[in-house]
Amino acid sequence: MKRSIVFTVGVAALTLSRLCAAGPADYVYTPTVEYGEREIDFKAGRANTHDADQSSAASLGFGYGARPHWFTEFYAKYESQGSGPTHFDAWEWENKFQLTDTGEYPIDAGFVVELERPQDHSEGYEVRFGPLFQTDFGKVQLNGNLLFERHYRAAAGGPMEFGYQWQAKYRWKEAFEFGLQGFGDVGPWDNWDPADEQSHRFGPAVFGKLPVGVHEAIRYNAALLHKASSGAPDNTFRMQVEYEF
Amino acid sequence: MIIVYHLTVMRPILFLALLLPSLCLAAGTEFKLSIRNHQFEPAVLRVPAGMRIKLTVVNRDPTPEEFESYELHREKLIPGNTSGIVYIGPLEAGRYPFFGDFHPKTTTGVVIAE
C-alpha cells in the first residue's frame, strides 16, 4: 500500500515537473511596456521527441498597456498530446512591469508575474515570475530573463523551478529581423536536476513588424529550437503573432 | 559534466549580475521636442553623437501622439496635453527619422547626431 502511494506521488510529481517545464508556445518576454497599446495575441508551438508523442500548445490572449509601466494580458491556453484532440488547458493572467525607462540606463529592466489556473484543478495554481533584461549594441538587441515557477494548492506539490530565456536579434529591417533564441529549465531552483534531465533548447529566430494602418500593426516572431541537452525535445517550433492597435 | 552544465547556465546569469551595477550609470544631455497641430517642433533635432540623450516630448495637442522611430528603437505614447521622456543613444553620427504614429504623414522629424 505504502509502495503504491509512493509510486503514485512519484508519477504525479514527475508529471507536474514536466508541466512546469517551458511549453512549446512559450515566448521570450521583453521588459518594455507600450502604454495605451491593445493587442490580440496568438501563440502556438509544437515539440517533437523521437521516442515520445509530440506535444502542441497554443494560446489566444488580449493585452493592454494599462499604465506607462504596466502591461496586463489574459490568455486562454490550449494543448494536445500525440494524435489526441486539442483541448482547453488553462487560463493565464500575465502582468509585466517596466522598471526603467527604455534607454535610460545601459540595461533596461522589467519584471513579469504570471498566474495560471489549469483546467485540471488538481494542478492548483501556477505562478511564474522573474526579472527581465534588455540592452542594445547598435542594431543588435539582447534579452535575458530569469524565471521562477511554482504550483500552489496542487495535489502533488513541488519545489520552485528555475528557468531562463534569452534572445539575440539583429534589427536589420522593421519587417524582418533575425537572430537566435534559447530556453532552459534546470529543475528546482536550489537543487538543479542532473544534467541529463535538464532542458536546454536554442535555435534561429525571425522577428518583424508590419504596419497595417494608423497606429495598427502586425508583429510576429518565430523560432526553430533544437535540443542542447538530453532532457529537451528534439526540436520545437514556436511562433507568435500579435495584432496591435 | 554537471559542473560544465551549471557553468554554461550560470555564465549568462553572472554576466547579468555583473552588469547590474551599470544600471547606476545613467547620464544624459537634455533636449526638448514639442508637438503642436500634429507637427514636431523642431522637426530637425541636432544632438551630439556618442552621448545618451534625454528628450522631453511635450504634446501640446489635446489628442494623444506616439513618438516612434525604428532607427532609434523607441516607441512612446504621449497623451494629449502631457509630456513624456524618451531616452535615446548613444548614437553614431547620422540621421535618425522619427514620426508620430497617430499622424504619420504630418508628424515627422529627424534626429541628426553629429
The whole-number pLDDT of residue A118 equals 93
Q: Looking at the 3D structure of chain B, how many domains does it have?
A: 1
**Residue B2 is nearest to which of A109, A164, A194, comparing CB atoms?**
A194
Tell me whether residue B15 is in a domain: no
> Pick from A34, A106, A200: which is nearest to B22 by CB?
A106
The confidence band for B19, taking pLDDT boundaries of 50, 70 and 90, is: low
Handedness of CA A73, A74, A80, A81 (dihedral sign): positive
Of the residues A101, A185, A244, the best mutation for testing chain B's interface (the one with the most B CB atoms within 10 Å of its CB) is A101
CA distance A197 to B68: 45
Taking residue A122's Cβ as centre, other Cβ atoms within 10 Å add up to 12
Supply the pLDDT for residue A22: 62
Q: What's the grid cell of residue A193?
A: 536536476
User: Taking CB atoms and an 8 Å cutoff, what residues of chain B touch A198?
Assistant: 5, 9
Q: How confident is the model at residue A8, as a pLDDT?
A: 43
For chain A, the straight-line distance linking the first and the last C-alpha, in angstroms and rounded, comes to 58
Q: What is the pLDDT along chain A (245 residues), one digit of tens a residue?
A: 444 444 443 444 334 334 344 677 799 999 999 999 999 999 999 999 877 778 999 999 999 999 999 999 999 999 998 888 899 999 999 999 999 999 999 999 999 999 999 998 888 999 999 999 999 999 999 999 999 999 998 887 789 999 999 999 999 999 999 999 999 999 999 999 999 999 999 999 999 999 999 999 999 999 999 999 989 999 999 999 999 99
Q: Is residue B10 part of a domain?
A: no
B33 near B47, Cβ under 8 Å? no
Asked if A144's CB is within 8 angstroms of B5's CB, the reply is: no
> For testing the chain A interface, which of B2, B9, B18, B57 should be mutated: the one with the most A CBs within 10 Å?
B9
Which CATH code is given to the segment(s) A2-244?
Answer: 2.40.160.40
Q: Is residue B1 part of a domain?
A: no
A109 touches chain B (CB under 8 A): yes
Computed over every residue of chain B, the mean pLDDT equals 84
Q: Which residues of A touch B4 (CB under 8 A)?
A: 195
Q: Which of B36, B33, B42, B86 is nearest to B61 (CA)?
A: B36
Residue in B76, B83, B92 to test binding to A, most A beta-carbons within 10 Å: B76
**Beta-carbon contacts below 8 Å between A and B:** 80
Would B47 be classed as within a structural domain? yes
Domain range for B51 is 28-113
**Residue B2 lies inside a defined structural domain of this protein:** no
Q: How far is B65 from chain A (nearest CA, A)?
A: 10
The verdict on residue B33 lying in a domain is yes
> Does any domain span residue B105?
yes
Q: What is the pLDDT of residue B21?
A: 44
Nearest CA in chain A to B28: A104
Residue A132: per-residue pLDDT: 98
Which chain B residues contact residue A105 at CB under 8 A? Answer: 22-26
Q: Is residue B16 pLDDT above 80, yes or no?
A: no
Tell me the DSSP string of B24-85. G----EEEEEEEETTEEESSEEEE-TTS-EEEEEEE-SSS-EEEEETTTTEEEEE-TTEEEE
Sheet with B94-100, side-by-side order of all strands: B44-47, B108-113, B94-100, B65-69, B74-78
Counting beta carbons within 10 angstroms of the beta carbon of residue A11, is it exposed (0 to 12), middle (13 to 18) or buried (19 or more)? exposed
Partners of residue B104 in chain A, C-beta under 8 Å: 214
Which chain B residues are closer than 8 Å to A68 by Cβ?
77, 84
Distance CA A97, CA B30 (A): 26
Q: DSSP character for A33?
A: -
DSSP string of A141-209, one letter each residue: EEEEEEEEEEEES-SS--PPEEEEEEEEEEEEETTEEEEEEEEEEEEETTSPPPGGG-EEEEEEEEEEE
Whether B78 is covered by a domain: the verdict is yes
Q: Look at residue A50 in the predicted model and tell me its pLDDT.
A: 79
pLDDT digits (tens, 9 = 90+) for B31-51: 999 999 999 999 999 999 999
CATH number of the domain that B97 lies in? 2.60.40.420
